[in-house]
Structure 1
Amino acid sequence: MEVWSATNGWGLKVERCHPYTHPNTCDTLPPFITQGLTLPPEEAHPHTPPTQGEGITLSVINQRKPALIFHRVFPLGLYWAHWADLEWHLERVAPGRVVVMTVSVFGTIGLRHAAQRLTQLGSVFALYLMPSARWTWVFIKGGRTISETVILQGIAQHKAHLILPLSHMPMPWNSNKNQRVEEERWQYCEAHGAMGGLCDEWSPDPLPLPSAPPVGQQTALAGVGVVVTAGNRHQYLYHTLTTLLATPGAQQHNVLVILGDAPPSTTQLLRLLDLNFTKVAVQGQDNAKLFRYYRSVFQLAVNTFPDAPAVIFLDEDVEVSPDFFSFMSQTLWLLHADPTIYCINAFSNTGFSNRTFNPSRVFRGSVQVMWGYAVTPQFIHEALIKWPKDEHNTNIIIYDFWLYSNVRRGRECVFPEVGRSSHYGMGTNSVPLMVEVIFLNRPVVQESGVPLVGVSRLQLPTWRHDLSNNLTLATPLLGNPCSADFIPKHNPEQLYVFYYRLDAIEQGLPDASQFFALQNCVGGWALSDQGQHEGVSILAFSIYTTLYLVGVPFSSYSHLKPRDLPLWDVNTIPEEEFEVVQLNELNKHKFIPVIANRNMTSSYLMSYLSAV
């Protein structure tokens, strides 16, 4: 085996024989594995953002025969989020596999927490890689390092040569299990890596998949369709499906996987799991292709479940909470009871780690469908009537935001304070910084059967009555919302309200420049008006303390502001007050790029190695 790492790329080659011992034979036999990237000289330097093929490479080789069964490059020249995706895939490489990792061009700045995981797996150098380091590592997952090499400085190509050891242990076999299914499982695992428990030879996941236990209101889920959208990311899909089907309340016969660009590896997996699936033709690139794909998904969903009380949609990289179906069973009835509600979201629209305290609490607000949502067949019909067959006929081609802008018609969604789903994958619209801020920072309920409080009071007349009453009873707050003493720390009050200037702009939308600074300071969602109910945002500061933000005059609740109460206006406050907004002492941004390896030197590394 030859592995190399350099500023112009990387490479992996597994020869059939050694060229020095068999010079005549080796030249005529093609290598078992040839993988890599070589940039032309004019591009052989770090790029921001990295071009395709730059970063940390992860290649998995079948331990019994020299075959590449998984390969992916993680663009860790970027600081945000991709380290979590690398960790996720590493965790799902089965014990005994041969793993090859390299730096391709540039890729250690974003390694971050994953460096600790690599160290736990046996890497000597992972914690000490400088931003410009060249690095190769070949190891057996759960076993020993075969080779690990590093160049901390310089631009020379860096090569490692080694003998690839192969295992002679037989494939796992258990005569007590279903012979056909087990044969299909291990045939699949011979060709595919990073599949988690499916291919773990020591502790494999059960097949066929066991049935999930019921939830308390199981009858509310009768006939509810569950559609999982998927493509070529079968590692994500396996995790999503097995987690979904193990969740209390899941009904396997109601699950339909709808495939777009799906290779044989995905369809083979679904046949192995004995799940219903179908394929749709897709055309185009990126979001244009996805916009067409989801139109086909909606059409298939309504054709398959025409009489369902609701249809639940999940993407292949959405993991559900153990309480997912229990949450749905307690809220789905609202889709029929209240015409002002169009969706049930399992994903929390307010659920940042410092703003979630009560898993029994639910809200309603103006929100697009999110990651793990339910709508009625009637809403799907409405969407299909308006959905353009040609994406050029709309200026929005991200389907969920298109639904929000063109089909919602002022209706709202129900969502929990603490989420029942998480989006864990990286895809077409996964902006790394947003992934870290939006997804990695949100807790998810880890128990099942959580009773929800006040679900019936989410219906609009009652919700308006309760909200108006709470705003009347709440203690008005004054001062600068971005100062550290904005929220009283030693006050038994449980409800607070803050009235601020919020004007309507084009198409009746609130002025984002007015709510952005306020939401950013108090830890709310600042990037859009989603999550608000008629100009009111609700934030939890503890299990006992709730803050209401009311935008005046935009909000329909503006009349509740006491006449003599001053209105905070970010556009007219004095300069010294605006400096407080910029400092944002109450809720400073948590994601400060700190690159631990920036000051690493060769002298420090040599000192470390001599000590160990």
Structure 2
Amino acid sequence: MVTRGRVLIFTIKDEGTFHLKDAAKNLLKTLGSQVSLNLSWRDMWTLVYGEKHSKSPALSTWGDPVLLKTEVQLTASEEAECHWADTELNRRRKLFCSKVEGYGSICSCKDPAPIEFSPDPLSNNNVFSVPVAVIAGNRPNYLYSSRVNPLMITVFIDGYYEEPMDVVELFGLKGVQHTPISIKNARVSQHYKASLTATFNLHPEANYAIVIEEDLDLSIDFFSFLSQTVHLLDEDDSLYCISAWNDQGYEHTAEDPALLYRVESMPGLGWVLKKSLYKDELEPKWPTPEKLWDWDMWMRMPEQRKGRECVIPDVSRSYHFGIIGLNMNGYFHEVYFKKHKFNTVPNVQLKNVYSLKKDAYEVEILNLLKEAEVLDHSKNPCEDSFLPDTEGKTYVMFIKMETETDTSTWTELAKCLHVWDLDVRGYHSGLWRLFRKRNHVLVVAVPISPYSEKKPTGVTPIQLDPPPKEEGAVVDQV
């Protein structure tokens, strides 16, 4: 969408049926579109208080180009200007709004959105002096949505783009731009390395860094969550990071915002990195520019993680809203990210933070297994009836997993539970924790998990096989 004064211009950027959801199509209809509800694969379309549509003749062919000529009554520029009070904030706002468009109420004349930060103070704030690195690229609309506590924030921009810096300056933050290095995944990886190195160079006294991406929303208690947990990184050398993201924390599988887990994966998406880990271990062997690797997958490798774990919340403190990126599109976001649960409860006091230390956590897991009721393994775990219609109870199920690479049963279970199923994540020593029907459910992999010994005699681990592939079928890849 482009706005100029009172002119609205809509057109398909790429693929209308892929990127336009029903809500957007219905909105376009209210604005006068005759065809928005009927846009199909590879149609060409534009709307400028007049409309032109070119139907695609076949799935493999784009519609013909559309040419629309129309006349629009423009408003004099002096009449379109806002008359905000002459303050430092509004001077920044006026400069910004004279240069860029598409930021909603930030440039509204009548009731402009605030551009100052006024976060509620944290009691016993343990992250007040921890630098925050916002990893950004050329997606300034995402950056605007990632407003956070301004203390210690630096926005790192991958490239010399004007508009992202305009957003940074609008909010009075510090921005650093650097020359992109390499291509594709390697470019992102080098951007992260440059940003992390610069963060600790800018703040040599810092022992940690908080890392967030531009396309994240942060919960109201994001910094409180980190403040209550960051000390664990100093007190337990078996920990790798503190992350605000639960890979398996969907609306139907996460329940308790005060509950914390330990997991063997590195979730990212709003996380705390210890300086000594980065400077002593990661920075010296960070993937070089010619290696087209994902930085986060590299950090999850056993050679880097070295058996260490990350602390995560049951209910995520970050929400990934971006649908455009190197490894992201609208379909992928719809399936794997849109229905993630996101905490909206303020001032959550986390439960038993001390129990996240290595030895104490083992005691907690064993106590949970002791009280857990074993589910009926003769039933199909993908059926709703597999779990009794109760609330507040703890259940356990055992699934077959002979080796680390024997992931078929978990993958099929994850699919029917509608959680992350692309690889195996979010477990601790072969045990997953999630909620179903407001009951705490433990899933134990047998025999690889040390908790397999808790399986009662006579209970056969559940085995799920992937459905057979049809001959000649094409497998979709994301």
TM-score, normalised with respect to structure 1: 0.69
Greater CA drift, 426-435 or 122-131: 122-131
Per the alignment, do residues 350 and 492 of structure 1 end up closer, same or farther by CA in structure 2, a change over 3 Å counting? closer
Q: Match for residue 121 of structure 2?
A: 214
Deviations 1:186-233 (A, max 9, x none): 3332331112332222322334x133221233x212211111011221
Output the CA distance in 2 between the equivalents of 1:174 and 1:522: 52
Q: How is 1:78-227 mapped onto 2 (pairs within 5 angstroms)?
A: 96=6, 98-103=7-12, 107-108=16-17, 110-113=19-22, 114-131=24-41, 133-138=43-48, 146-150=49-53, 158-168=66-76, 169-178=79-88, 181-207=89-115, 209-217=116-124, 219-227=125-133
2:459 to 562, 565, 568: 565
Output the CA distance in 2 between the equivalents of 1:171 and 1:117: 27
SS for the counterpart of 2:156 is strand
Output the CA distance in 2 between the equivalents of 1:542 and 1:102: 43
Per the alignment, do residues 397 and 334 of structure 1 end up closer, same or farther by CA in structure 2, a change over 3 Å counting? same
SS for the counterpart of 2:441 is strand
Q: How is 1:388-427 mapped onto 2 (pairs within 5 angstroms)?
A: 388-392=287-291, 397-405=293-301, 406-425=303-322, 426-427=324-325
Q: Match for residue 401 of structure 2?
A: 502
Contact 1:367 1:404 in 2 (8 A): yes
Any unmatched runs of 5+ in structure 1?
Answer: 1-57, 64-95, 139-145, 245-249, 572-577, 583-612
Output the CA distance in 1 between the equivalents of 2:56 and 2:177: 50
State the Cα RMSD in Å. 2.6
Q: Match for residue 336 of structure 2?
A: 438
SS for the counterpart of 1:548 is strand
Output the CA distance in 2 between the equivalents of 1:312 and 1:319: 14
- Give, in angstroms, the shift of residue 420 of structure 1: 1.0
Output the CA distance in 2 between the equivalents of 1:390 and 1:123: 47
Per the alignment, do residues 165 and 293 of structure 1 end up closer, same or farther by CA in structure 2, a change over 3 Å counting? same
Deviations 1:241-288 (A, max 9, x none): 3xx1xxxxx3x2311111211312222332332211222232221112
Output the CA distance in 1 between the equivalents of 2:196 and 2:210: 11
Output the CA distance in 2 between the equivalents of 1:487 and 1:216: 44
Contact 1:229 1:257 in 2 (8 A): yes
Output the CA distance in 2 between the equivalents of 1:523 and 1:234: 32
Contact 1:510 1:554 in 2 (8 A): no
Output the CA distance in 2 between the equivalents of 1:439 and 1:348: 11
Any unmatched runs of 5+ in structure 2?
Answer: 58-62, 470-478
Contact 1:137 1:149 in 2 (8 A): yes
Per the alignment, do residues 171 and 451 of structure 1 end up closer, same or farther by CA in structure 2, a change over 3 Å counting? same
Q: How many residues align?
A: 457
Q: Match for residue 479 of structure 1?
A: 378
Q: How is 1:278-293 mapped onto 2 (pairs within 5 angstroms)?
A: 278-293=176-191
Output the CA distance in 2 between the equivalents of 1:151 and 1:332: 56
1:259 paired with 2:153, answer no
TM-score, normalised with respect to structure 2: 0.88
1:333 paired with 2:231, answer yes
Per the alignment, do residues 120 and 411 of structure 1 end up closer, same or farther by CA in structure 2, a change over 3 Å counting? farther
SS for the counterpart of 1:108 is helix
Deviations 1:278-323 (A, max 9, x none): 2223222111211222111121122223332421101111111112
Output the CA distance in 1 between the equivalents of 2:390 and 2:80: 68
Contact 2:391 2:437 in 1 (8 A): no
Contact 1:230 1:262 in 2 (8 A): no
Per the alignment, do residues 264 and 135 of structure 1 end up closer, same or farther by CA in structure 2, a change over 3 Å counting? closer
Deviations 1:311-336 (A, max 9, x none): 11011111111121121111111111
Q: How is 1:12-27 mapped onto 2 (pairs within 5 angstroms)?
A: none
Output the CA distance in 2 between the equivalents of 1:500 and 1:524: 16
SS for the counterpart of 1:160 is coil
- Give, in angstroms, the shift of residue 551 of structure 1: 0.7
SS for the counterpart of 2:351 is coil
* 2:300 partner letter: Y
Output the CA distance in 1 between the equivalents of 2:235 and 2:31: 53
Contact 2:245 2:267 in 1 (8 A): no
Q: How is 1:264-279 mapped onto 2 (pairs within 5 angstroms)?
A: 264-279=162-177
1:239 paired with 2:145, answer yes
Greater CA drift, 350-359 or 128-137: 128-137
Per the alignment, do residues 369 and 379 of structure 1 end up closer, same or farther by CA in structure 2, a change over 3 Å counting? farther
Contact 2:160 2:178 in 1 (8 A): no
Output the CA distance in 1 between the equivalents of 2:298 and 2:14: 38
Per the alignment, do residues 116 and 215 of structure 1 end up closer, same or farther by CA in structure 2, a change over 3 Å counting? farther
